[in-house]
Structure 1
Amino acid sequence: MSDPKSKFLEVYSLLKSQLLNDPAFEFTDVSRQWIDRMLDYNVPRGKLYRGLAVIDCYMSLKEGKELTEEEILLASVLGWCVEWLQACAVVLDDIMDNSHTRRGRPCWFRLPKVGFIAINDGILLLSQVHRILKMYFREKPYYVHLLDLFNEVEFQSISGEMMDLISTHEGAKDLSNYSLSLYHRIVEYKSAYYSIYLPVACALLMAGENLENHVEVKKILVEITIYFQVQDDYQDCFGDPKVTGKVGTDIEDCKCTWFVVKALELANDEQKKLLHENYGRADPASVAKVKDLYQVLDLQGIYAEYERETHEKISEAIKTHPNKTLQALWGRFTGTRWTVDRAGNAAGNK
C-alpha cells in the first residue's frame, strides 16, 4: 500500500465529514464549526503511530496478502477510533495536569474561548468513537466484541488515570508511597491497554481471532508500554521542549515517575530530605534542585543502561514469539516514537 499515512488521513477527512452530519444531532452552523475546529486541532496532529499500527498489525495477520479496499478502509477506521480515544485522553489529561503545551502548540483548553469547554469536548470525542464503530461495524460478526473491547479499555484507562491522580495526592503528603510496583500499575492501566494493546486487539478481531487466545501477547505489550513510558519520563525531565513539543511538568505535578522512584531508591537520608522538600513544588528553583539531584545520582546513566537492557529483552521476546503482530507493532512504534540513544540523549522523532 503506497503512502499509507496519506491514505490514512483521507479516511480521517471522511469520518469527520460524517460526524459533522450525524443525523442524531441537529447541528447549527456555530456548533458544526466548533466541532470541525476541535477535531482538526486534537485528532490528527500526533504521530498517528497508534492508528497506523492497526493497519500494520492487520497486514501481518494476512501474511503479506494484498488487502482489499474494504479491508484497508475498515482497518483505517479502527485506527482512527484509537486516535480519537487518544485525543480524548490528551484533551482531558492536559486539563488535569494543568499543562501548557502539547505537540508544540498550546493545549486545547488554553485557547481563547475554549477553557473548560474542553471537558465537554473530551467527552464528545469519546462518544464519537462509538458513533464511528456503529457506522462501520454494526453488521460485522465481531461488532459486539469490538464494543466489549473498547468499553473494557476505556474503563481501564479512566481507572488508571484515577489511580495516577490519587497517587499524586498521596505522594505530595509522603513520597515514600511511590514505588516501582505502583509506577508499573499506573502505566499498565492508564496507558498500556488503550495505547498499545488496543491497536493489536482491533486487528486480531478484524482477522477473526479470539482475544482470549492471546493473553501472552497482552503481557508483552504491557512491558513495551512501561518501556515507552520510561522514555516519556526522560523526555519530560530532560527533553528540549523545542524538540519534544511539550513542556514537562512531572516534577511540579508531583507525578509518580520512574525517575523519582529511582531517586528514592538510591538517595541517602539528606538527599531524600531535599527531594521531599522540593518535589511537587511549582517554582523553578525547586525543580532545578530536583534535577540537580537526579544528575548527582546519575539517573541519566542508569536510565541509559535500563533502556539498553530493556530494548534487548523486548526485541528478543518479540523475535521468538509466533504472533507476527508483535513484530509489526514493534517496528511501527520504535520507528516513529521519540527515542533516546545509549548515552541518554534525545535522538528525535524518527
Structure 2
Amino acid sequence: MSNVCLFLIYVSVITLYLCARPCQGDSRCSKGVQQKGKMLSDAQLFDLEFEKLVSELTEQDFTDPVLTDALNRLKEVLRYNAPGGKRNRGLSVIGSLRELVSPSELPPDEVHRALLVGWCIELLQAFFLVADDIMDASLTRRGQPCWYKKEGIGLDAINDSFLLEGAIYRLLRRHCRGQPYYVHLLELFMETSFQTELGQALDLMTAPPHKVQSHCEIQDCILFLLSPCGCSHAGIENETEHNNAKTILLEMGEFFQIQDDYLDCYGDPAVTGKIGTDIQDNKCSWLVVSALGIMTSEQRAELEACYGRSDAESVERVKALYDTLEMPIRYHQHEEESYRRLQKLIQLHANNLPHAVFLNFAKKIYKRNK
C-alpha cells in the first residue's frame, strides 16, 4: 500500500508550486524558519506541525463534553500511528517545494501548508497501515506492536483507521479551502485512496490458501492499478510534464514495492520495525514471482507444499529455497539496474522540472533497509 504515495507527493507539490504566491521580500522566506533566534530545519518544523495538528483535531474544535472520551481516543490513535516512520513521504513535500520555488517567492503560509499536506500524506499512510495490518494479521509495525494488537484495541482499530482518514479532510478543509488547489487536493486524496483500495482488493483476492501457481500471474495488474489516475485532475497544466513525471514515478513506485517484498523476507525486524508475513499470507511478492520463473519442477513442488503456510518449518523451507535460487543476489542486481534506469529516465524526461526533485526521491529509496 506504499508506492502510490510517490504520486501523491509529486502532485501535491505541483499544485502548491503552481499556486504559491510571492512573499514580496518577507525575511522569513528561507530554508527553515527562525524561532527564538534559532533556525529550525524542515524536519524540526515537521515535528512541531504534528503537535499542532493533534491539538487542533482533539482540543480546539470541540467543546461538547460528550466527545471527550472519543477525542482522547483520537489523540492516542494519532500519536501511536502517525509518527515513528521514516517521514520521507511527508518531508518530501516541503523538500521538493523548496527545489521548485526560490526562497524569495515562498511565503511562510505556503511553507506551513506544505508541512500540513505532508502530514496529511503521513495520515493517509497510517490509515492504510492500520487496516492492512489487520488484514494481514501482522504483529509489529515501526518497532512496536501493530495498533490492533495492543491490549484493549482489537478490531476497534477498524474505526480508528477511519478516524485517521477523516482527520485528513478536516485538516485540508481548515487550512487549504481558500486556496485555488483545494479541490485538486481533495480529488487527489480520494482517488488515490480508491485506487489503493482496488489494489489491496486484488492483493487479498489473489492470495487464496495454498495456491501459488495461478495467483502470481497477475502481479503486473496489481502494480498497474496502484497508479492513481486522479493525478490527471490535480491541476498540472502541462500534460507532457505530467506524463514524463508519471513515467519516472511509475518506475520508482514499482521498485519501492519490490524493496518492500524483499525486506519482508530478508529485512532485519530490529531495523525494519516489523516481522514479515508475506510467505505465511501467500502474498504475490516479487520474490515468489521471480523464483517461479527460474525454478525446476521439483523446486516448484517444494514451494507449493510450503508457501502460504504459517508453521515455522514451512516458512524456513521457502526461505531455504530462495537462498538456493540466490534470490538476494538477483534482488541486488535488480536494484542496481533499476537505479540506473531511474537516472536515465530522469535525464530523459525531467526536462522542465529540477532533476533534484526526482533524484531526492530516488536516493531516499536506493539501498534502503527499512
TM-score normalised to the size of structure 2?
0.82
Q: Is 1:80 equivalent to 2:108 in the alignment?
A: no
Gaps of 5+ in 2: 1-30, 33-40
1:90 Cα offset (Å): 0.7
Pick from 251, 256, 265: which aligns with 1:228?
256
Would you say 1:185 and 2:221 are equivalent positions?
A: yes
The answer to whether residue 168 in structure 2 is matched with residue 140 in structure 1 is: no
Name the CA distance, whole Å, in 2 between partners of 1:121 and 1:211: 39
- Of 268, 272, 275, 1:247 maps to 275
Aligned-partner SS, 1:87:
helix
Structure 1 position 329, deviation (Å): 4.1
Between the aligned partners of 1:307 and 1:174, the Cα distance in structure 2 is 25
Contact 1:156/1:189, CA 8 A, preserved across alignment: yes
d(CA) in 2 for partners of 1:188, 1:50: 21
Describe the shift of the 1:15–1:225 C-alpha distance in structure 2 as closer, same or farther (beyond 3 A).
Answer: same
CA distance in 2 between counterparts of 1:73 and 1:334 reads 25
- Displacement after TM superposition at 1:174 (Å): 4.3
Which residue of the partner structure matches residue 334 of structure 1?
Answer: 363
Contact 1:318/1:327 (8 A) holds in 2: no
The one of 40, 44, 49 equivalent to 2:79 is 40
> What is the alpha-carbon distance in structure 2 between the residues aligned to residue 55 and residue 302 of structure 1?
35
Percent identical among aligned pairs is 37
Q: Offset at 1:132?
A: 0.9
Residues 1:93 and 1:323: Cα distance change in structure 2 (over 3 Å): farther
Aligned-partner SS, 1:38:
helix
2:11 corresponding residue in structure 1: none
For residue 215 of structure 1, give the secondary structure of its aligned residue in structure 2: helix
Paired position in structure 2 for 1:217: 245
1:230 touches 1:258 (CA, 8 Å); kept in 2? Answer: yes
- Cα distance, 1:67 vs structure 2: 2.4
Deviation at 1:187, TM superposition (A): 3.4
Q: CA 1:106–1:209 in structure 2 vs 1: closer, same or farther (change >3 Å)?
A: same
Cα offset for 1:63? 4.7
C-alpha change, 1:30 and 1:8, in structure 2 (3 Å) is same
- Match for 1:294: what amino acid? Y
Q: Distance in 2 between matches of 1:15 and 1:329?
A: 28
Residues 333, 80 of structure 1: alpha-carbon distance in 2 compared, 3 angstrom cutoff: farther
Q: CA offsets per residue over residues 248-284 of structure 1, 9 Å max, x none?
A: 1000000000000011101111111111110000011
Q: Choose which of 252, 258, 261 in structure 1 pairs with 2:289.
A: 261
Partners of 1:168 and 1:133 in 2: CA distance: 36
1:176 is aligned to: 214
Cα deviation for residue 334 of structure 1 reads 2.5
Structure 1's 29 and 54: CA in aligned 2 closer, same or farther, altered over 3 A? same
Counterpart of 1:305 in structure 2 is 333
Question: Offset at 1:30?
Answer: 2.1
Counterpart in 2 of 1:51? 90
Does structure 2 conserve the Cα–Cα contact (< 8 Å) formed by 1:56 and 1:332? Answer: no
Cα distance in 2 between the residues matched to 1:255 and 1:325: 37
What whole-Å deviation, never above 9, does each CA across 1:150-196 have from its counterpart, x for those lacking one? 11111101111111111112x743423313xx323323434x54xxx
Aligned CA distance change for structure 1 residues 12 and 322 (closer, same or farther; 3 Å): same
State which of 75, 99, 111 in structure 1 corresponds to 2:138: 99
Report if the CA contact (8 A) 1:60-1:324 is conserved.
no
Seen in structure 2, the aligned counterparts of structure 1 residues 111 and 120 have a Cα distance that, compared at 3 Å, is same
CA distance in 2, matches of 1:146, 1:211: 17
CA distance in 2, matches of 1:47, 1:259: 24
Per-residue Cα deviation, 1:269-302 (whole angstroms, up to 9, x for no partner): 1111111110000011001111111111111111
Paired residues in the alignment total 329
CA distance 1:22–1:161, change in 2 (3 Å) = farther
Query: Within the alignment, does 1:159 sit opposite 2:201 as a pair?
Result: no
Conserved 8 A contact 2:339-2:362: no
1:17 maps to what in 2?
55
Gaps of 5+ in 1: 341-346
What's the RMSD between the two structures over aligned residues? 2.4
Aligned-partner Cα distance in 1 for 2:88–2:141? 16
The answer as to 2:90 corresponding to 1:90 is: no
Secondary structure of 1:84's aligned partner: helix
Which residue matches 2:6? Answer: none
In 2, are the aligned partners of 1:51 and 1:79 still within 8 Å (CA)? yes
CA distance 1:188–1:223, shift in 2 (3 Å): same
Change (3 A) 1:282 1:21: same
